[in-house]
Structure 1
Amino acid sequence: MKKKAFDWLYKGLFFIVAAILSGCSQASVDDGYTAGDLSGINHMADSGVNSFSVNGYGGAMTGNTCCIMLPEKWTPELKARIQWEVDPNPNVIFPPLGTDEFRKAYEQHRTKYQQHSAIINIPQYGKERCGLTVHFLACNQVKVTTACSGYGTSGYPIKDPLNMKEPATCPVK
């Protein structure tokens, strides 16, 4: 009986993984959209990005997250509506995990999280695009790219350095 239960479990997990992986392929969807990975890069030295989303699709700061839907053909009015949460002190040291002191300190720390949003243009792309990468910069600024090359390579369009310090005053938006 246990073997049958494990067979069903493995088959179920296989189909779930297959569905997730196929959902992030570059295959076209009937309505003219293509799925791609959604990832983020934090350029801020003193703040952490806890979470973010673009046009309602959730992204990840480590690795790629499946998926974001982008139109097969770029248009000038194509926008990225980005929402993100920042931890202004991600290196805080907490009391031991699981203690009442930890829970109290964490709740107090969490009240300092900041919510941000921006609507920015998605840069022009052609047939080659590899999902969307969001760059989180100082002064709550963001940039996006659909480039297939990786950050730091010569062909990558966003050149802002990592570990940016927040200036004493930020430019007025």
Structure 2
Amino acid sequence: MKRSFKGNACSQVLRLLLGVGSVLMITACQSPSKMLGAPVTGYNHTSAAINRFTVNGAGGPNIGPHQGGGSEVCCGLVPREWVPGLRAIVEWEKDPDPGGYIKRDQYGQLDTEDYKRHAANYSHHKVTVEIPRYAVAGRLKVHFLPCDQVRVSADNIKPGSPGYPYNYPMNMEGPKVCPNS
């Protein structure tokens, strides 16, 4: 008896498709995840540059002085429903002199030694902050304020809109001496 190779291949493909289809139907019927992927964006209300930052381990874009909201990085995680005691851990690197001159060589590349001199003034920070109540989960928005204060929201409201918890002016002047310095 001769077996048809075509028949064997077709039955294998059919079994594979049925198996994959069953898995997809089973996972589609499960309840949705309690966590939601959320883009990360930042708002820098200070005269320093935020070279890089993370919120709960998810990276955010670098932010120039008195800038923000224009770019996002994907993704952090937030609970679909707000829970009491919800917190965020924010880590960042700050350049207190973002307009500082760094020498370049004849090809336009940064001079390594001059860059090291400039970068020696960078400071590194880490803080844990509360995330205020939200009705609908949205983007993780990190606000950098004078005196290394940080606020984080995870709602679906745009900064500047009524009901947004942190409607600070973009150009905030810090005090001469910060309270915890």
Scaled by the length of structure 2, the TM-score of the pair is 0.71
Identity, in percent, stands at: 34
Helix, strand or coil for the counterpart of 1:109? helix
Structure 1 position 35, deviation (Å):
0.6
Q: Which runs of 5+ in 1 are unaligned?
A: 1-28
Aligned partner letter, 1:119: T
Helix, strand or coil for the counterpart of 2:137? coil
Is 99-108 or 117-126 further displaced after alignment?
A: 99-108
1:105 aligns with one of 114, 127, 133: 114
Aligned partner letter, 1:131: R
Structure 1 position 166, deviation (Å):
2.3
2:171 aligns with one of 146, 163, 168: 163
Q: Structure 2 CA distance, aligned partners of 1:137 and 1:143?
A: 8
C-alpha distance 76-111 of structure 1, shift in aligned 2 (>3 A): same
Could you list the runs of 4 or more consecutive aligned residues of structure 1 that deviate by over 6 angstroms after TM superposition?
none
Q: Structure 1 CA distance, aligned partners of 2:174 and 2:152?
A: 20
Indicate yes or no: 2:124 matched with 1:115: yes
Structure of greater Rg = 2
Indicate yes or no: 2:95 matched with 1:82: no
1:20 aligns to what? none
Scaled by the length of structure 1, the TM-score of the pair is 0.74
Q: Structure 2 CA distance, aligned partners of 1:100 and 1:53?
A: 28
Give the alignment's Cα RMSD to 1 decimal.
2.4
Is 54-63 or 68-77 further displaced after alignment?
A: 54-63
Aligned residues: 144
Q: Which runs of 5+ in 2 are unaligned?
A: 1-30, 64-70
User: 1:10-31 deviations in whole A, cap 9, x for unaligned?
Assistant: xxxxxxxxxxxxxxxxxxx954
Q: Structure 2 CA distance, aligned partners of 1:160 and 1:100?
A: 37
Structure 1 position 101, deviation (Å):
7.4
C-alpha distance 72-101 of structure 1, shift in aligned 2 (>3 A): closer
